[in-house]
Structure 1
Amino acid sequence: MPSPTTISIDKLARLVGTPHCPALIDVRTDEDFSADPRLVPGSVRRPHHAVREWAASIKAPSAIVICQQGRKLSEGTAAWLRHDGLAAETLEGGFEAWIAAGLPAVPVERLPDTTASGGTVWVTRARPKIDRIACPWLIRRFIDPDASFLFVAPQEVAMVGERFDATPFDIEGVFWSHRGTACTFDVMVEEFGLAIPPLLTLATIVRGADTARLDLAPQAAGLLAASLGLSRMFADDLQQLEAGILLYDAFYRWCRDATGETHNWPAARGGSVR
C-alpha cells in the first residue's frame, strides 16, 4: 500500500508538462546521478543535506522530491520541506521506477548552465510567431520552469547570448535551430529525450505551421492563425509569450487527451447537451 507521503508514477506522469505541476526536485546522490545523468522532465537537482538552505527558493505551492528509489533521501527532504510549510511528497519508487515505466528523461548534458539566481537564460529574435513561442513553452513545461527568455534584434542574438550567458535558439548557425525539414521545436523534442506521442503530435502541428506545410496536420492552419493573431494583439514580446504559453497548454492537452473527441451540433436527438 502506498505511503500517504508519496505520489505514484502514473499520477506524476499526468502532471508533468501541465501548468499545475509541482516543483520537481531531484536529490539523488552524485554516485547515483552519475550512473544515469538524466532528469525527470522539469526537475532540478538539489543536495538533500542543504534542504534548509534552498527550501525558500521554491516558488511553486507544492513539491515532489525524487531520489534513486523513493526512500530515505526523498522522504527526509520532503519531511523537511513540510516542516518549513511547503506541501511535499516523494515519488513512489523514485527515479528507478520512473525509468522502468518507460517514461521520458532529459539528458543533463543538453541543459544550459543556470544563472547564479537559478534558471536558464535563452535568447532569440524579437517578434516571435510560432517556433519562438513553442520552444519556450516546451522549455518552461518540460525542462526548466524558471527559464528566462530574451527577445532582441535578429543581428544581435549571437552577441547578446555571449555577453549575457544566454543560449541562442531559432537562428541560423546555432545548435538549437532548424535542421533540414525539422523546425527548432522538433530538434528540442528529440535532443531533450521528449519524443513521447503527445509531443510528437504537437511537433508535427508546429512544423506544419512554422514551415508553411499546412498539409502536415489539419490543426497546423489553426495554430498558424492563432499565432499570427497573437502577434498582432501584443506589442510586447513577453506578454505575447505568456499568452502563447496558454495556447500551447491547450494544444498539448488536445494532443494528449482529446484527439479522439469530436463535437457536433445540433446534438443527437435524445442526447444530453454538454
Structure 2
Amino acid sequence: MASTITTITHDKLARLIGTPKCPLVLDVRTDEDFAGDPRNLPGAVRRRHADVEAWARDLKGRSVVVACRSGRELSHGVAAMLRHEGIPAEVLEGGHEAWKAAGWPLVPEAKLPVRDGQGRTAWVTRARPKVDRIACSWLIRRFVDPFAVFLFVQPSAVEAVGERFGAAPFDVENVFWSHRGERCTFDTMLDELGLATPPLLRLATLVRGADTARPDLAPEVPGLLAASLGLSRMYADDLEQLEAGLLLYDAFYRWCRDATEETHNWPGRKEGA
C-alpha cells in the first residue's frame, strides 16, 4: 500500500532508520499499550500524547514520524497537532503492531539505562576512544536514543561515574556492555538490543577486526582501522571526535547495507580513441 502525504509505511521508515536524515520517531502509545510490549522502534523516543502542546516546541526544525499501537486516532491526532505547530509529521501506518508483524527490529527498554528527566539515556566509557567505543556510540545514537549522553572519563573512574550519574558503563572490563570472548562490545549491543540485522552484523565484523587486530576478518578492516586512528589524532576533544566518527560509521553502514557488490574502476581507454 502506498503511503499518503500524512503517513509512512514501515518499509520506508525502515530504510531511513540508522541514517542521519531519519526523522525523529515518537512513540505515543499509552502506558498500558507500552506495558503490553515494552520495546521501542529503533531510535524512538516516548512522549505522552496528552502533553503534546508542552513538548512540541522542542521539535521545531525537525521532521517526525508518530507511532501508536495500531496507527489510528492517537498517532493521527498527535501528528495533526504537530503539523498545526509547523512541524512536519507523518503517522506510521499500522503503528507498532504493523512494524512488529513485519519483523523489523525492536529495542527492549529494560536493557537500557534508566532515562533522565529529559528522557535521555546516559552512557560512560574510557576517554580517548578509537574503534569499539565510537562504533557503540554511533549505534546508540542512530538505533537506540538520538539524544543519548556520552561521558568519556579516565578508565579508573568509569564505574564510579556510572553509579553516581546513572550512566551505563560500556567497553570496560567486568561490566555488562563489554567484550565477550572474541567478540566486541558492538557485538554485545547488537545481540542484547535486538539489532542483529544483516547490515549491522556485517559492520560488526569490520569493527571486531579493527578493534582486535584481526585484519583477516574482512578486506575493509584495515581501512576502518586507519580512519579510526586518524580521527583519534585529529581531535583532542572526545565529543568532537565522536561527532566526526558518526559520519564515518554512517558511511560504513550504508556500504554494508547497500554497496557491498559495487566496484569502482578507472574508465578504460575507449576503442578507437
Bin for the TM-score computed over the shorter chain = over 0.9
Structure 1 residues 220-259: aligned runs within 5 Å: 220-259=221-260
The 3 A distance-change label for structure 1 pair 101 and 123 is same
Judge conservation of contact 1:22–1:60 (CA < 8 Å) in 2.
no
User: Helix, strand or coil: the match of 1:64?
Assistant: strand
Structure 1 residues 5-20: aligned runs within 5 Å: 5-20=6-21
Structure 1 residues 179-190: aligned runs within 5 Å: 179-190=180-191
The list of structure 1 runs, each at least 4 consecutive aligned residues, that deviate by more than 4 angstroms after superposition, is none
Between Structure 1 and Structure 2, how many residues are aligned? 270
Residues in 2 aligned to 1:30 and 1:203: alpha-carbon distance in whole angstroms: 34
Superposition deviation, residue 48 in structure 1: 1.1
Unaligned runs of 5+ in 2: none
Residues in 2 aligned to 1:60 and 1:102: alpha-carbon distance in whole angstroms: 31
Judge conservation of contact 1:41–1:142 (CA < 8 Å) in 2.
yes
User: Helix, strand or coil: the match of 1:49?
Assistant: helix
Superposition deviation, residue 2 in structure 1: 3.8
Q: CA RMSD in A?
A: 1.4
Superposition deviation, residue 256 in structure 1: 0.5
Q: Percent identity?
A: 67
Residues in 1 aligned to 2:228 and 2:60: alpha-carbon distance in whole angstroms: 29
Superposition deviation, residue 4 in structure 1: 2.4
The 3 A distance-change label for structure 1 pair 261 and 165 is same
Superposition deviation, residue 84 in structure 1: 1.3
The code of the aligned residue for 1:25 comes to L
Superposition deviation, residue 58 in structure 1: 2.8
The 3 A distance-change label for structure 1 pair 268 and 66 is farther
The code of the aligned residue for 1:55 comes to A
Q: Deviations over 1:21-46 (max 9, x none)?
A: 11100111222222221111000111
Unaligned runs of 5+ in 1: none
Residues in 2 aligned to 1:268 and 1:124: alpha-carbon distance in whole angstroms: 52
Residues in 2 aligned to 1:58 and 1:226: alpha-carbon distance in whole angstroms: 34
> 2:261 corresponds to which residue?
260
The 3 A distance-change label for structure 1 pair 4 and 266 is closer
Q: TM-score, normalised by structure 2?
A: 0.95
User: Helix, strand or coil: the match of 1:117?
Assistant: coil
The 3 A distance-change label for structure 1 pair 214 and 196 is same
Q: Deviations over 1:64-114 (max 9, x none)?
A: 000111110000000111111111010011111111111111011111112
Judge conservation of contact 2:45–2:119 (CA < 8 Å) in 1.
no
Superposition deviation, residue 218 in structure 1: 1.0
